[in-house]
């Protein structure tokens, strides 16, 4: 699955979870691949389809995207796991993380 295919998959997943979704532009997205909204609560999502663990850079990007897109919350979703450092950085910046296990649970809730 390519990065774009993963973004589209994540968009469809959030739609099934009752969110309104908008994919941001592919180039220069300012760290947010997808905007999801439910009950006027706006969340910026960074989708990472990686063969390795996701590092700090994804957290830094989505934190920057929070202000750019005026999001109430931001999160990073991956098909893999996060480095310890990324988890620590996400915690202090109030970034929600969905790793492979969380993603699988959400998929099973729907299908």
Query: How far apart are alpha carbons 23 and 8 in whole angstroms?
Result: 8
3-110 CATH fold: Trna Endonuclease; Chain: A, domain 1 (3.40.1350)
More confident residue, 110 or 40: 40
pLDDT at residue 27, as a whole number: 61
pLDDT at residue 73, as a whole number: 98
Q: In terms of DSSP bridges, do strands 95-98 and 73-78 run parallel, antiparallel, or are they unpaired?
A: parallel
- Within the chain, residue ranges assigned H as helices are 3-16, 56-68, 84-92, 100-110
In the chain, pLDDT over 70 holds for what percent of residues? 96
The torsion angles phi and psi of 96, rounded to 5 degrees, stand at -80, 135
pLDDT (tens digit per residue) in 11-45: 999 999 999 999 997 666 789 999 999 999 999 99
Q: Between vectors from CA 81 to CA 30 and to CA 63, what angle results, nearest 5°?
A: 25
Given a cut of 90, whether residue 81 has pLDDT beyond it is yes
């Amino acid at each position: 699955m390519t990065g774009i295919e993963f973004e589209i998959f994540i968009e469809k997943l959030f739609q099934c979870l009752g969110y309104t979704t908008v994919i941001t532009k592919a180039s220069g997205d300012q760290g947010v691949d997808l905007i999801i909204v439910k009950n006027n609560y706006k969340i910026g999502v960074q989708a990472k389809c990686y063969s390795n663990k996701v590092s700090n850079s994804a957290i830094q990007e989505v934190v920057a995207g929070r202000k750019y897109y005026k999001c109430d919350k931001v999160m990073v979703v991956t098909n893999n796991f996060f480095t310890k450092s990324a988890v620590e950085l996400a915690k202090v910046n109030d970034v929600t993380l969905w790793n492979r296990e969380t993603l699988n649970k959400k998929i099973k809730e729907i299908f």
